[in-house]
Chain A
Amino acid sequence: MLLAALALLPLAGLVFFNAEMQRREAAAQAEGDALRLARVCSNNEERTVESADRLLALMAEVPVVKALDARACGPLFARVLGNEAGYANLGLLDAQGNVVASAKPVVMRTPLEQRAFFSQAREKGKFAVSDFALEPDGERAEMMCGDAVRMEDGRVAGVIFVELNLAWMEDLGSRLDLQSGVTLSVLDRNGIILMRIPEPRHWVGRSALEAAAGRAILQRRGFGTADEQGMDGVRRLFAFTPLDSRDGLGDFVSAGIPDELAFSAARRSEHRQLVMLAVFGVTAFAAAWFLADILVLRGVRMLLRATQKVAAGDLQTRAGPVHGGGEFRELAQAFDTMAASIEVQSRERDAAEQELEKRVVQRTAELAEANRMLQEEIAERGRIGAELRVSKERLDLALKGTNDGIWDWDLVTGRVYFSPRWKEMLGCAEEEVGDTMKEWETRLHPDDRERAFLTLQEYLSGKRAAFQLDHRLRHKDGSYRWILSRAVAVRDEAGKPLRMAGSHVDLTERRLAEQALRESESKLRVFVTNVPAILFSIDRNGVITMVEGRGSGVLSGADGSIVGHSVAELYGDVPGLVESVRRALTGESFSTTMQLQQRHFDIAYSPIEAPAGTVTGVIGVAHDITERILARQELERTAEELRRSNAELEQFAYIASHDLQEPLRMVASYTQLLERRYAAQLDDAAREFIGYAVDGAKRMQAFITGLLRYSRVGTEPRVLEEVNLQSVFEAAVANLRIAIEESGARVESRDLPVVRGDPRQLTQVFQNLIGNALKFRKRDTPPRVEARAERTRDFWLVSVRDNGIGLDPRFSERVFIIFQRLHTRDECEGTGLGLAICKKIVERHGGRIWVESKEGEGATFSFTLPVRPEA
């Protein structure tokens, strides 16, 4: 009996041990599931914040945002928010925290300007976040992300923000189709539930510290697992991790799987085994009793048989001689002794036999049971496996959705789980990547290798608080992708890492975009640095915040730069400059010129205005116009000289028309008076001498008059009006009427147009040309003069053709030069001024004049007049 009971003990132990092993395995699996679930959440959140970062960085560069243009921003934000489902709101704050524009009304418990994201974004000028806070209705938690909006000078004009909430977790929950009892919660650092699925409305806002699970999560301040009672009284395996591992905001996400669910398989198996053990035990005891009974009866029967054998006089027995008469008792006693001895021997032998037999039976049953259990376990494993597959598929789905590659490294076994997306990121199919860290190591870019190992080493050893690694991994096509790897490790109590899980984000596109941006910025910088002007900005205190441009070298102070110095300090002695800046700071845009260090500048100021109408600074462009000013001064000097010279010429012209004529008149008149009064006393020679004297005076007068006319063409104010060339022509003919009649000339005109010009001067041109035609006529032929005009695209071409003596083409240029004559005075009268005057008049009208002729075959004088003369 004792032996039977003793035999059961190890068996029971085996059962319990077996159950415990299953339990642990289930716990580890549930823990793994919960951790993955929590990581999915935190990954999703990180990704949301990251894309908010990108969105805000983008929006902060939009011009209307930079300008804090409230009217343009409102619709823009609404449109962007419509396209970005992940955000609850999008808006813009000015530097004081006033809402400039937002996609939706801003209703917040805490004023935005008091939130951390605002002050950080404004002070540090970069992306910043505030942790989740409950909205006034207490039903939802929201989180703010902000980024600085910078003005051209780099100062912060405002903060653009997005509001994130945790509504996506509900989507995630329904997408993952979580089993009943499984929870996902987000807690803030104080244990307030910010989100919980399922039943968010019931739980959000309550403190998780009410439950042991919540206390455990808060206590561990990070990640880990706990098997504790949740707020609803249900015991769960909780796995938790920071919601966003990159900052120390202290929100946690926790996934809980009910123990019931986690251990149900293990517990069922244990229960079954115990029942089996009990049944087996009872059977064993029953068998023992039965066997004992049989043993006694057998002993009796054996004794009887032995006795009978002995009584039958079995020769083999020693009892034969004992059967004699008087010694029965002795014999009996001896027999008893013998029988007892036989019985003991027999019992011992039988017991051993029995034990052996029992053990065989027991072993058989054991084997059968083990076999059955094995079968059951196999079936159970199959079920669990199926469940696991389903849950893994869900996880894969979720991982695919996150677009991040996931890896999960078990440091104990050395096995690594790489998600399909992880592999796809490197161009690999599922089966092309194994399950060890070699897969990662062999793909490392040689230049990143050392740094990557060091980072990993430092994190695993605890030297580094967070694992974040920007590195290149080789794609299947041979190129390298920029990957941002982030991970957290699960450690034992001693801090030894057991497991490390993380994500991969492909930053290659972003890197390329950043590079493109850098290149474009450097191009812009090249432009800004080389623009032939000075670009500057001044803040509201009159301090210069930027000076750029090729001309800016002129402004550099002794120490090299003027940035950071105030205008008053640098240029207080420059008349009007400080006042100009002050004027621009009142909001006025204007241009002014200024002299600075012997250079002249044309400076355009324009204020930078915040939407509230306050001026936050001034930007401006200064052009160095020193050369222009000097040129203008030179031009003015020349113009002044010209005016003076013209005035002198006028004076000369007057003198010529009056004072020079008087002496000539005296010479001519008195010589003639002499001839008149003393004719009787004079001989022919004297009269001839008088004739030469008078003629000389007359010619002198003609020269003076011609010169006067010639000079007046250039000095007379130019009066352009609509001139009918036909009328002008007729006026010229009328002036020459006597000469025309005397020579019997025929003068005609055809198709003369209306042009813009000075009628008196144009009359002069015709008069001189016709006059020349009459003067240089053939001796025996009556002169014919014809004027006609034809139009080209831009000019009227007017020709005056005669049938006179013509001229040698060699002289066709020379005839237009002043005082150049082709004929002696004896051949033809003339001052050599007529054509020079014509040339000057035509050129003054924007045309040119030339002659085509052959000696003896007449001449054609042509001149052009612009159809649309310049003003």
Chain B
Amino acid sequence: MKIPKADVLLVEDSAAEARLALEALQETRFPVQLHVASDGVQAMDFLRRQAPYQDAPRPQLVLLDLNLPRKDGREVLHDIKADEDLRRIPVVVLTTSKAQSDISRAYELHANCYIQKPLELDGFIEIVKSIHRYWLQMAELPA
């Protein structure tokens, strides 16, 4: 039986980061379809299915970096949580920042979780696994 792939939107401006996330996901072999938006504007267009994303699926999870060009991760978070259609999608902030101000700000904007990316690959793979296990397997999300 083929499990349908879960759609996950990764908002990340660094191609290297995005690639690393993809590679880490491959290491887990989870059935996840990773969509990448390289800035906040693209991310919102994707979520709202605006050109060129008219056919974009509604993701089950958003992985959001904070520092983005054009539209900042915090604004994206605010827009998602202010949007009635989008606010139910869990948003996991995934960033290298460990600044207390960033953490606080993210939760104030109703981020569902805040995770700092570790330095080493093993740690990162472990986090990707955890996210998958928790948000996509354990947690019951609204349809």
Interface pair A665/B119, CB less than 8 Å apart: yes
9 A-B pairs whose Cβ atoms sit less than 8 Å apart in the complex: A653-B99, A654-B97, A658-B96, A658-B98, A659-B96, A662-B14, A664-B119, A668-B120, A669-B124
How far is A479 from B14 in the complex, measured between Cα atoms in Å?
Answer: 110
In the bound complex, what is the Cα–Cα distance between A669 and B14 (angstroms)? 14
Residues of A near B141 (CB, < 8 A) are none
Q: Is the CB of A98 closer than 8 A to any CB of chain B?
A: no
Cα–Cα distance between A670 and B16 once the two chains are bound (Å): 9
Which of B67, B95, B97, B120 is the one whose CB lies under 8 Å from A672? B120
| Chain B CB within 8 A of A445 CB | no
In the complex the two chains form, is B23's CB within 8 Å of A673's CB?
yes
Q: How far is the CA of A657 from the CA of B98 in the complex (A)?
A: 6
Nearest A residue (CB) for B120 = A668
5 closest cross-chain pairs (CB), A and B: A672-B121, A658-B97, A661-B96, A669-B121, A662-B96
Which residues of the partner chain A approach B82 to less than 8 Å between Cβ atoms?
none
Task: List chain A residues, Cβ under 8 A from B119.
Answer: 661, 664-665, 668-669, 697-698, 701
The interface of chain B, by Cβ under 8 A from chain A, is: 14, 16-17, 20, 23, 27, 66-67, 95-99, 102, 117-122, 124
Cβ of A672 and Cβ of B99 under 8 Å apart? Answer: no
A329 touches B (CB below 8 Å): no
Contact with B117, one of A654, A665, A673 (Cβ below 8 angstroms): A665
Q: Which of A626-675 contact B (CB under 8 A)?
A: 653-654, 657-659, 661-662, 664-666, 668-670, 672-673
Residues of A within 8 A of B102 (CB): 658
Give the Cβ gap from A707 to chain B, nearest Cβ, in Å: 13
Residue of A nearest to B101 (CB): A654
- In chain B, what residue has the closest Cβ to A661? B96
Measured in the bound complex, the distance between the Cα atoms of B120 and A668 in whole Å is: 6
B99–A669 touching, CB < 8 Å: no
- Cα separation A637 to B99 with both chains bound (whole Å): 30
A657 and B99: CB pair below 8 A? Answer: yes
Q: A-B contact count, CB below 8 Å? A: 55
Asked whether any CB of chain B lies closer than 8 Å to the CB of A676, the reply is: yes
Q: Mark A364-376, 1 if CB is under 8 A from B, else 0.
A: 0000000000000
Bound CA–CA A665/B19 (angstroms)? 13
Task: Decide yes or no whether A694 CB sits under 8 A from chain B.
Answer: yes
**Contact A668 B121, CB 8 Å, known A659-B67, A662-B17:** yes
B123 to chain A, nearest CB (A): 9
Complex contacts, A666 vs chain B, CB 8 Å = 14, 16-17, 20
Residues of B within 8 A of A698 (CB): 119-120
Chain B: minimal CB distance from A58 (Å) = 76
Which secondary structure dominates chain A's binding surface?
helix
Interface centre among A664, A669, A676, A698 (most CB of B within 10 A): A669
**Smallest CB–CB gap between A694 and chain B, Å?**
7
Residues of B within 8 A of A672 (CB): 120-122
Cβ distance B105 to chain A, nearest Cβ, rounded Å: 12
- Provide the residues of chain A in CB contact with B67, threshold 8 Å: 658-659
- Once the chains are docked, how many angstroms separate the CA of A432 from the CA of B23? 135
Question: In whole angstroms, what is the CA distance A408 to B96 when docked?
Answer: 119
Nearest neighbor of B16 in chain A, beta-carbon distance: A666
Q: Mark A343-359, 1 if CB is under 8 A from B, else 0.
A: 00000000000000000
Nearest to A675 among chain B residues (CB) is B121
Closest to B124 in A: A669
Chain A residues, CB < 8 A from B96: 657-659, 661-662, 665
- Inter-chain CA distance A653–B27, complex, in Å, is 33
Instruction: State the CA gap A71–B120 with chains docked (Å).
Output: 90
Q: Complex: how many Å from CA A668 to CA B117? A: 12
* Listed residue (A659, A661, A698) with the most chain B CB atoms within 10 angstroms of its CB: A661
How distant is B64 from chain A, measured CB to nearest CB, in Å? 14
Additional A-B contact list (5), CB under 8 Å, known A654-B99, A669-B120: A658-B97, A668-B121, A669-B119, A672-B120, A673-B20
A676: which of B14, B66, B97, B121 is its contact (CB, 8 Å)? B121
**Docked complex Cα distance between A847 and B112 (Å):** 43
* Alpha-carbon gap, A283 to B19, bound state (A): 181
Q: Which residues of B contact A673 (CB under 8 A)?
A: 20, 23, 121
Give the residue among A665, A666, A670 with the most B Cβ atoms within 10 A: A665
CB distance from A121 to the nearest CB of B (A): 79
- Residues in A with CB closer than 8 Å to B122 are 672
CB contacts (< 8 Å) of B124 on chain A: these are 669
CA–CA, A658 and B96, complex, Å: 5
Residues 696-711 of A contacting B (Cβ, < 8 Å) = 697-698, 701
When chains A and B are docked, how far (Å) is the Cα of A673 from the Cα of B120? 9
Contact B20 A669 (CB under 8 A): yes
A701 to B99, CA, bound (A): 15
Provide the residues of chain A in CB contact with B27, threshold 8 Å: 676
Q: How far is the CB of B141 from chain A (nearest CB, A)?
A: 29
Give the distance to chain A from B106, nearest Cβ to Cβ, in Å: 13
Residue from B17, B20, B23, B120 whose CB has the most chain A CB atoms within 10 Å: B120
> Cα distance A672–B23 when bound, in Å?
12
Cα–Cα, bound, A658→B14 (Å): 13
